[in-house]
């Protein structure tokens, strides 16, 4: 699939900021699952952007505004081609404990994704739930998929009831939150069971957005089960802002994406921006400023499917295949 993504973030300060420094993680990753056809980041006030790749292979842009400014606007425009890979769970006829043991030889490489992190502590509540939902003798694939379904059915998506500082234990107790909360809970449960897991930030195309793309591109018919009078009810959750899901490492060397917010596997409709131990490693924007005591944040995201140029896409797949494979195995 071919997507055009526009992500706009605006900060309005209560008084002019004297200066600010910001790190941006808004450029999609090049991996075996996706290739970045084009990307541009626009900032206002206009200042130079410096770029680098962080420890986890995510693309980072950094900027400094060394003069007074009343607002800061960052607009990321990306064109991304995604594709569906073969079933990464194929042939994994083993138990959870066997999967843990087979990952052990790569424990140094996977260390960051096995240990507690800033937003993923391993509390008694987490360990107790992991023992219940990820028993060592259970079939690996069925149990992993069952956890995805459990979180979807048991936890209610409710915006505004949590923020990034809300502890995992509170989310487990109330069973409410948003996609980043569900991702953190799932990662904690995997790590408590000894399975490497990492946080993924990005976007997802919803059913409603897909239907609009079908109309715009002239395709006939409706998506299966789509009701024009119930767009909001039919949509997948996560496309109105940045989305979050999880990748679990399998003994066959593949990272498998799981989206507990929607009870689906990562698909062509997911676009990855960054991976890390948890949200703290991949925020879209992170920075500091001087002067104003308050700020108002506004975020707008548009994910639109388009036809694209197959010749250009094929050339980019070929040129990015080697580095993408290296990243996907990280």
Task: Indicate the pTM of the whole model.
Answer: 0.86
The confidence score (pLDDT) of residue 210 equals 61
The confidence score (pLDDT) of residue 322 equals 40
Provide mean pLDDT across the span 146-161.
96
The confidence score (pLDDT) of residue 207 equals 66
Domain parsing of the chain, residue ranges: 2-83+283-328, 96-202+240-281
List the strands of the sheet with 34-44, edge to edge: 34-44, 69-82, 2-17, 295-306
The confidence score (pLDDT) of residue 226 equals 38
pLDDT 10s digits, 214-241: 565 555 444 444 344 344 434 676 655 6
The confidence score (pLDDT) of residue 212 equals 61
CA 230/CA 177 separation, integer angstroms: 23
Does pLDDT of 138 surpass 50? yes
Q: Do domains 2-83+283-328 and 96-202+240-281 have the same CATH topology?
A: no
Provide mean pLDDT across the span 118-127.
96
pLDDT 10s digits, 176-190: 999 999 999 999 999
Residue with tokens 């767009």: 231
CA 199/CA 181 separation, integer angstroms: 11
The confidence score (pLDDT) of residue 321 equals 44
Of the candidates 66, 59, 53, which has an alpha carbon nearest to the alpha carbon of residue 39? 59
The mean pLDDT value of the chain amounts to 86
User: CATH second-level architecture of 2-83+283-328?
Assistant: Sandwich (2.60)
CATH node for 96-202+240-281:
3.10.620.30
The more confident residue out of 314 and 83 is 83
């Amino acid at each position: 699939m071919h997507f055009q993504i526009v992500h706009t973030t605006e900060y309005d300060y209560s008084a002019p900021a004297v200066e600010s420094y910001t790190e941006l993680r808004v450029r999609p990753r090049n991996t075996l699952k996706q290739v970045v056809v084009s990307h541009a980041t626009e900032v206002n006030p206009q200042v130079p952007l410096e770029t680098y790749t962080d420890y986890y292979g995510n693309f980072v842009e950094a900027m400094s505004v060394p003069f007074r400014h009343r607002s800061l606007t960052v607009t990321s425009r990306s064109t991304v081609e995604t594709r569906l890979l073969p079933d990464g769970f194929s042939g994994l006829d083993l138990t959870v404990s066997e999967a843990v043991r087979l990952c052990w030889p790569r424990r140094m490489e996977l260390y960051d994704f096995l240990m507690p992190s800033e937003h993923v502590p391993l509390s008694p509540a987490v360990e107790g739930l992991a023992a219940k939902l990820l028993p060592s003798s259970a079939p690996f694939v069925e149990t992993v998929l069952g956890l995805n379904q459990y979180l979807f059915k048991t936890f209610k998506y409710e915006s505004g009831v949590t923020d990034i500082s809300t502890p995992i234990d509170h989310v487990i107790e109330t069973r409410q939150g948003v996609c980043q909360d569900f991702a953190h809970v799932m990662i904690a449960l995997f790590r408590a069971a000894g399975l490497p897991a990492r946080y993924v930030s990005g976007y997802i195309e919803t059913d409603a957005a897909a239907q609009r793309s079908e109309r715009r591109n002239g395709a006939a018919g409706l998506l299966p089960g789509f009701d024009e009078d119930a767009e909001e009810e039919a949509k997948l959750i996560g496309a109105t802002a940045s989305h979050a899901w999880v990748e679990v490492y399998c003994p066959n060397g593949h990272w498998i994406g799981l989206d507990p917010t929607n009870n689906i596997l990562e698909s062509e409709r997911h676009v990855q921006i960054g991976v890390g131990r948890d949200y703290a490693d991949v925020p879209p924007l992170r920075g500091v400023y001087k002067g104003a005591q308050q700020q108002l944040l506004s975020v707008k995201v548009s994910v639109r499917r388009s036809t694209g140029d197959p010749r250009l896409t094929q050339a980019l797949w070929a040129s990015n295949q080697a580095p993408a494979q290296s990243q996907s195995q990280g």
